[in-house]
Amino acid sequence: MKTIITGGNVLSKNGFEQADVLISDGKVFEVSGSIDSGAADRVIRADNSFIIPAFADVHVHFREPGFEYKETIRTGSKAAARGGYSDVCTMPNLDPAPSTPGSVGRQLEIIERDSVVRIHPYGTITADGSGRGELSDMEGISGLVTAFSDDGKGVQDISLMTEAMHKARDLDKVIAAHCEDESWLPEGGCVNQGKASMRFGLPGIPAESEWTQADRDLELEAMIGGKYHICHVSKKETVELVRRAKERGIDVTCETAPHYLLLCEDDMEDDGRYKMNPPLGSAEDRDAVVRGLLDGTIDMIATDHAPHSPEEKDRGLKGSAFGISGLEAAFPALFTGLVLEGVISLETLVKKMSVAPRKRFALDSGDEDSVSRRGYIRPGQAADIAVLDLLEEYTLDSSRFASMGKCTPFDGRDVRGRVLYTLVDGDAVYDYEKDDD
């Protein structure tokens, strides 16, 4: 099967250049100024569009098995394809928790059957993913998972995290930490921190809950070694801690999410679409996260796609579940809010959404010279490609999401930039003109 993408602007090592791309047997075969379309079984006309390595998201929740009423592997993967993603890493807050070879195997069977993109599952750190108790069978599941995380729960006991870090180091796996020290949380539940909590008269999650546990873990990592990753960085103190840790030579990476780059607590309304964990911080926090992205302290952007049923998100800030849907809103929101505003270049956005996550989480099968890691299109790479229309203006409409979760703070926003096609190994898993069935 041969496919030609013609008439587009291809991201090369010299930046964007107008060229055609010939795909054969799932790989990029040729990139040149003009390729005879008669050599192809399929021609994708990408006139004036932009052709980039498809995105990779290291932090999504697809809810299956156990919570299929929120999202399934099928619907979540279709949402990823619509968002321009060829690869996603699914968090392990599932039932059963992926803590043994059997439970991970069950998830892998569903992925093989239903996913339209590549899914790389996490295994839990603790046996039930609660951040407490005993460790999971880390040795037994190591070859089946991309990394270890208890996302949604911070590992509360320092001795337990110490043991987990030792094991992950010996297994050459990343520990991806949801940093949340529960000793800082007020009784009776939390909604947000600072001015937002005061404005709505609701108890808040203090910034210390995030950054004190990050500080603890970074000190452990300095002593133990291994690979450590901080999920969804949202506070200025955490950004500074990571910056200092990197200066000390600690092997740490971190991610942030579109909502922490583009929103702050001043934007909040008493609506479930503004309830996520960690919560939106202050304008100072948002600005610090943006600076961290620019100077390399923050390595990558992940969505923390966390869909819930409408009933779970229609209870205001106080009663709604934590989490929003992000895969289908991420690129247009970031392109509009960061690239068009001159904050970062499109090439930098691609690096943060495609190259850095693949490199840290070894999503290219250990190929250190992988083109998707290098960040541009050239012969020899797997044909994992997104085709983007950067001129189209439209209004984000979450009711059209492929995800079962329709709740996002970006709903109704005027944006520019649309994913037209997503290819995985050369197969078009998303075609905007056909849309999803």
Catalytic sites, residue numbers: 304
Q: Which residue bears the tokens 């006309």?
A: 45
Backbone angles phi, psi at 65, to 5 degrees: -85, 155
d(CA 217, CA 148): 14
Nearest alpha carbon to residue 350 among 5, 7, 16: 16
d(CA 62, CA 403): 9
- CB burial string 354-369: b at 16+ within 10 A, e below: bbbbbbbbbbbeeeee
Nearest alpha carbon to residue 148 among 183, 104, 118, 115: 104
d(CA 113, CA 176): 27
Torsion of CA 209, 212, 217, 219, to 10 degrees: 180
